[in-house]
Every structure is written in C-alpha cells, then in structure tokens.
Structure 1
Amino acid sequence: MSARLSSIKTRTALRSSARVSADLLLVLVAAAVTLWVLGRMWSVVWPLMVGLFLTTLTWPLARFLRRHGWAPALAASTVTVLALAVGGGIVALIAVPVASQSGELTDGVVEGIQRLREWAAGPPLNIGDAQITEALDSAIARIQDSLGTTVSAVATGVGTVVNGVVTAVLAVFLMFFFLKDGPRFLPWLRRQLPGRLATDIPVVAERSWDTLGAFVRSQALVGLLDAVFIGLGLWVLGVPLVLPLAVLTFVSAFVPIIGALFAGFVAVLIALVSNGLTDALLVLAIIVVVQQLEGNVFQPMIQSRGLGLHAAVILLAVTLGGSLAGIVGSLLAVPVAALIAVLWNYVREQLGEPSQEPGAGAQPPGGTVTPA
C-alpha cells in the first residue's frame, strides 16, 4: 500500500515538474520572440527609450508648471526649449573642450599602460618580457581581427551621424508629446483594455515609470556629485585633463559598478603618467572616498526608495547587457532589470493575495493618475 502511494506521489511530482518546465519554456520562448521583435524595430525603439529617459529628467519641471496653471502644451513647449538650451550649452561649454583633449586623454591612457607594464616587469611581480609580449601580441591580434569591422564602421560614419541626428530629433519630439499628454495615457489605457488587464497593466506601467524616473534622476545627480568631487580632487593635485575626466565620471555613473571602476582606472592612469606614483595613489584614495560617500551617503539621501536589486544582480545585468548590445546594452541593462523586478514583484503580490475583480469599488494599487 505504501509503495503504491509512493508511486502515485512520484507520478504527481513528475507531472507537476513537467507542467512547470513547460510553463518556463513558454516564458523563455515569449521572451526570445519579444527580444527579436524589439531588435527588428530598434530604429523606433531606441528613440522611444531615449525620449522616455529625457522625459523622466524633465517631467518634474513640467509637472510644477502644470500645477501652477500652465496649459499642458505651453508647459511642455517651455520645458522642451529649456532642455534644448541646456543641452546646447553643455555641448558648447564641455563637449567641445573635451573633444579637443580626447587625443591627449587617449595618449595618457596608453602611456599609463606602458608604465604599468614596466612596473610589472620589475620586483616584486617580476613578470617576464616574454609573458607581457605574448599578452600584447594577443591584444594586437584581436585588434587586427576587428580591423575590418573598424574600417567598415569608419566608412559608414556619415550614416551613423545621420542616424544619431534622426534619433535625437525623434527623441526630442517624443519627449514633448510625453510631457504634454503623458498624464492622459493611463486613463486611456484603462479604457482600452478588457477585464482584469484594465487594472493590472496600468498599475505595472505606473510603477515602472516611477522606478525608471527614480533611477535616471538619482543616477544623474549622483554622477554629477561624483564628477564635481573627483574633479575638485584632480584639480587640487594638478592632474591634467580635469574636465574630460570629470565628464567621463558623470557619464560612467549611468553604468553602475563597472562604470565607476572604468572612470577611476582612467583617472589613476592619467595621474600616474603626469604626476607620478604618489599623486596616482592620492587620486585612487580620493576616488575610493567619493565612491564610499556615494554608496553610503549620496544614494540613500537622493534615492529614498532603491531599485530593489542586489549588487550582484546589477553586475550580472551590466555584463549581460554589454555582451548583447555593447555600450547601449550596458546603459540599458540596469533599468531593464529594475523593470523586470517591478513586474515580478507585482505578479508575486497578486499570487499572494485573493483575486479581486476590477470595478468592484477597490482602488488599484499604486494610486491613480488624474487626466490632464
């Protein structure tokens, strides 16, 4: 009798495992199809995502103007023009000098790597020239292997610039329409969806928007603080190329963990080449102190509600995004992982609570959006 019960339990467990495996397989297939469709529509998806990022940065000002009686179109137009003016000022005041010093920055990094090679060849490491030469030969071989791709990219540089301009123009127009009509979107979406979806999808969309806005605004402010403090430290020590290094620090803040390591590595190399080992160690100490302040002071103060992602998950997401889509993938990896976490948390909440039919007088979680 017990053997029969054990056999029944085994078959039941196998059937349950098979159903779970089939469900997971369907989810993976759906995810693969979604990624494939996004890849085919990338020329539209990329401006849309850039427009969303810009909207998260400019929406607080537009919301302030709307709350003080400004018409939606007027508020959106004013914020868009102001954003374009600020962007143009940044290009004129920062990007041009940075571009003029980019060659010096590259030469400094190369010379710093050469210094590290000479240091590694001496005590206490005593790495032989043959090993270093082998590693350099391997790196040169990889560069030569990718030479064809590089030449092709240079040959199509005009098309790349044109695509970049088109993307920027589309993103600005999308930002204007998001600022103007964004608050009307969720009520409209609720009216279009049937049944339970009329509650679930708008709630997930609203939470995703809040998470995306918190991430972009907090990373921008934290990156600005990092750039200011590290730039001041480099300026006090007399390290050259302060402005390009500060801009690199700010941009790298949008790639958590890996971006900070890369920007810090470049700053230490420049200090090593220009000022010597002592100042390089001081720059390293400044970077470590600023990063500690960022992790323990800046982010908790600026971002009161975190993304809910462990550092290991962020690191894996950035690595995966970079391997799949290069720099763009690294930039988008953490926001995408955070949005996936939002969806998972909502599904878990719904599975842990008794189901409730929409329209029964209950307020959907996450609050409501008042139509403009």
Structure 2
Amino acid sequence: MRVAAEAGWRLLVLAGTVWVLMRVISAVQLVVLAFVAALLITALLQPTVARLTRHGVPRGLATALTAILGFVVMGLIGWFVTWQVMENIDNLSNQVQDGIDELRKWLLNSPFHVTPKQINEIAKNLREAVGANTDQITSAGLEGVTVIVEALTGILLTMFSTLFLLYDGRRIWEWTLKLVPSAARPGVAGAGPRAWRTLTAYVRGTVIVAMIDAIFIGLGIYFLDVPMAVPLAVFIFLFAFIPLVGAVVSGALAVVVALVTQGVFTAVLTLAVVLAVQQIEGHILQPFILGRAVRVHPLAVVLSVAAGGMVAGIGGAVVAVPLVAVTNTVVGSLRSYSQDRAVRQATTATPPAQTPTEPSEAPAS
C-alpha cells in the first residue's frame, strides 16, 4: 500500500506539473511558437554562419548576410504562392465547376447506383459553394486586425530571436547552463550539443526530403496538365514539415484538383505519382538522409503531431516531432551520463583488491 501511495502522489505531482506547464504555454503560445520557429530556422542557417566565419568573415556580418538571405527566400516563397493562387483562382473555379459536371456524368454511368437527383443536389451545392465563396476561401485566416497583428508579432519575434541565436547562441547556452543546479550541470552540458545536432539533422533532412517531394510530385502533376502545378508543389514542400499528416493532406489536395479539373483518369495518375514518390521518400530517402539521429517511432510521430495540433494548431503540429526527437536525445544522453557516473562512483568506492604476497623462505639455520 505504501508503494502504491508513493507512486500515486508522484504521478499526481507529475500530472499537475504538466498541466501547469501546458497552461503557461497556452497563455504565451505566440512567444513559444515564435521561439521554437527561430530555433528551427537557426538550426538550418547556423552552418552557413559557421562556414562564413571560418573563411574570415566577421561573425556579425556573417549573421546579417545569412539571416537576410534566409528571410528573403522565405518571403519570396510566400509571395510566389500567394501570387500564383490569386492569378489562377478564377480559372480554377471555372475548371472546378466544369469538373463537377464531368464527375456527375461519370457517377451516373458508374456501378455505384447513384441517382440523378442525388448527383444534381451535390453538384448544385458544390457549384454554389465554389462560386459564392471564392473570396472567403482565398482570404480565410487573413481577416481581422487581431490575426494580422498576431501574425506580424510572431514574425518579428521569430526574426529577432533568429538573429540573436545565430550571433550569440553559444553565450546564451552558457548562460542557460548557469540556471541548472551544479550537480546536474555536467550531464545537461553534454546533452545540449547532442540535442542541437539532432535538431540540425532533422531540419536539414526535412528540408531536403521536402524539396525532393515537391520537385518530383510537381513535375508529375505538371506533365499531367494539372492546373496550378507550381503552387501545389510549394504546398507539398510546406506540408512536408508536418510528418505523416502533411503528406496525406498535400497529396489529397493535388488529387482533388486533378479530379475536378482533368477527370478521373488524371486523378488516378496523380494519385499514383504521389504514392510512388512518398513511398520512395518514406522507405529510402528518410532513413538515408535523416539516419538514426532523429529516428522516432511512427506511433510517437502520430501522437505528437495530434497533441501539437490540439495545443497550438498547425504551428504545434510542425514543431511537435522535432521536439520529441530532441527530447528523446536529451533523455538518452542523461541516462548514459547517469549510468557512467554510477559506474565511476562504484569503481571509486570499491577498494583495490589486495594481492596476496607469497611467504618468504625461512632462513637456513
């Protein structure tokens, strides 16, 4: 009973701590997401700063050049996606309406026993939704002063945090170590660099895999004459940062666009292209590029993405898996340090064995 009681109150304390932590994170969600995003961007850009510094460029100048180039590239990607969507949305809307009619004809002749009344009702609802809500669809999430202010605040926080992490990351880490109790400081000091290597490997590998996905799936849907192939490829690249779920969503989006604009046959071919690229990515590219440094069980990936999405939306889903990977590395490093420390203490506490001395020969009488 006493053991059960001790385990129970410890579990309650742990649950209470987690609950308080989640409440605090929810209260400052924007700040937390901005800082985590800055960490991810820093992990991607820091090798460039280090390379420039090794070639004699002052660290401040190297940081400024790398940060400006990185933010300009990300801004251009966002502008390009928005421009392409706005340029093609009217044409896509017309093609969607034509595709609905084609889909209606196919369903009427299919073996699914769909009645014309059901088809007409569904087609009417879809046509009205696409035709009447185009503006709302394209501007969803961008309306309202509060949303704009929060977005700008998050972007500015991310930019400033990235600049300081790139320029002064080592001193920030050394200051953070001073907050750790001295007894645990050596273990944390050893776990930090390992965690950073894991995060860097994850970000680099994810960017490479996302680019490969976007290029090959984009080329496939381009040659299949699917509209908005380039914006869809960019969406595939961005959604690749949400493991498992992002690939499903972006692939489904490409298939749906192909279905309503080019018909069932093109949609099937698009699905085949998406599945082929994603299978190659999942079984060959990810193990080869990411390696063992960031290996996380698929169940942990699904649960972490779901939990991150529930806590902080899309941003939480993006940062969930790298957070789990880093946590796994830190826990493993601390466990190894504790075991090594226990072995050293046991070795120090055990006195050396006394080697028996042979009795000397008695002197001859």
Task: Please tell me the TM-score bracket, short chain as reference.
Answer: 0.7 to 0.9
Which of the residues 324, 327, 350 maps onto 1:337?
324
Task: Name which of structure 1's ranges 194-203 and 153-162 shifts more when overlaid on structure 2.
Answer: 153-162
Give the aligned partner of residue 56 of structure 1. Answer: 43
**Distance verdict in 2 for CA 1:240–1:352, change over 3 Å:** same
Work out whether 1:196 is the aligned partner of 2:186: no
Which of the residues 290, 300, 318 maps onto 1:313?
300
Give the aligned partner of residue 263 of structure 1. Answer: 250
Secondary structure of 2:56's aligned partner: coil
List per-residue Cα deviations over 1:243-296 (Å, max 9, x = no partner).
121111111101111111111111111112222222211111111110111112
Work out whether 1:323 is the aligned partner of 2:310: yes
Work out whether 1:231 is the aligned partner of 2:208: no
| Structure 2 spans left out of the alignment, 5+ residues | 124-136, 346-365
Task: Name which of structure 1's ranges 336-345 and 178-187 shifts more when overlaid on structure 2.
Answer: 336-345
**Distance verdict in 2 for CA 1:171–1:31, change over 3 Å:** same
Larger radius of gyration: 2
List per-residue Cα deviations over 1:185-216 (Å, max 9, x = no partner).
33333445332222233333333322222222
Contact 1:252–1:263 under 8 Å retained in 2: yes
Contact 2:49–2:62 under 8 Å retained in 1: yes
CA distance in 1, matches of 2:225, 2:142: 39
Task: Name which of structure 1's ranges 155-164 and 42-51 shifts more when overlaid on structure 2.
Answer: 155-164
Contact 1:112–1:270 under 8 Å retained in 2: no
Task: Name which of structure 1's ranges 202-211 and 99-108 shifts more when overlaid on structure 2.
Answer: 99-108
Secondary structure of 1:223's aligned partner: helix
Give the aligned partner of residue 348 of structure 2. Answer: none
Which of the residues 18, 39, 49 maps onto 2:26?
39
**Distance verdict in 2 for CA 1:123–1:344, change over 3 Å:** farther
CA-CA distance at 1:125 after TM superposition: 4.3
Give the aligned partner of residue 74 of structure 1. Answer: 61
CA-CA distance at 1:226 after TM superposition: 0.5
Task: Report % sequence identity.
Answer: 33
Cα RMSD of the aligned pairs, angstroms, is 3.4
Letter in 1 for 2:184: L
Which of the residues 154, 169, 172 maps onto 2:156?
169
Contact 1:190–1:202 under 8 Å retained in 2: yes
**Distance verdict in 2 for CA 1:173–1:45, change over 3 Å:** same
CA-CA distance at 1:344 after TM superposition: 3.2
Contact 1:109–1:266 under 8 Å retained in 2: no
CA distance in 2, matches of 1:186, 1:247: 35
Task: Name which of structure 1's ranges 52-61 and 104-113 shifts more when overlaid on structure 2.
Answer: 104-113
**Distance verdict in 2 for CA 1:156–1:227, change over 3 Å:** closer
Which of the residues 264, 284, 298 maps onto 2:285?
298
CA distance in 1, matches of 2:192, 2:120: 54
CA-CA distance at 1:59 after TM superposition: 0.8
**Distance verdict in 2 for CA 1:235–1:156, change over 3 Å:** closer
**Distance verdict in 2 for CA 1:113–1:355, change over 3 Å:** farther
CA distance in 2, matches of 1:191, 1:292: 46
Give the aligned partner of residue 126 of structure 2. Answer: none
Q: TM-score, normalised by structure 2?
A: 0.78
List per-residue Cα deviations over 1:35-80 (Å, max 9, x = no partner).
1112222232222122112111111101111222222212111111
CA distance in 1, matches of 2:249, 2:184: 43
Contact 1:190–1:199 under 8 Å retained in 2: no
Give the aligned partner of residue 367 of structure 1. Answer: none
CA distance in 2, matches of 1:344, 1:110: 54
**Distance verdict in 2 for CA 1:340–1:224, change over 3 Å:** same
Contact 2:34–2:155 under 8 Å retained in 1: yes
Contact 1:101–1:244 under 8 Å retained in 2: no
Q: How does 1:338-353 map to 2 (within 5 A)?
A: 338-350=325-337, 352-353=339-340
CA distance in 2, matches of 1:237, 1:353: 58
Contact 2:41–2:162 under 8 Å retained in 1: yes
Give the aligned partner of residue 272 of structure 2. Answer: 285
Task: Name which of structure 1's ranges 316-325 and 122-131 shifts more when overlaid on structure 2.
Answer: 122-131
CA distance in 2, matches of 1:329, 1:156: 22
Letter in 2 for 1:207: R
**Distance verdict in 2 for CA 1:80–1:191, change over 3 Å:** same
Letter in 2 for 1:42: Q
Contact 1:317–1:337 under 8 Å retained in 2: yes
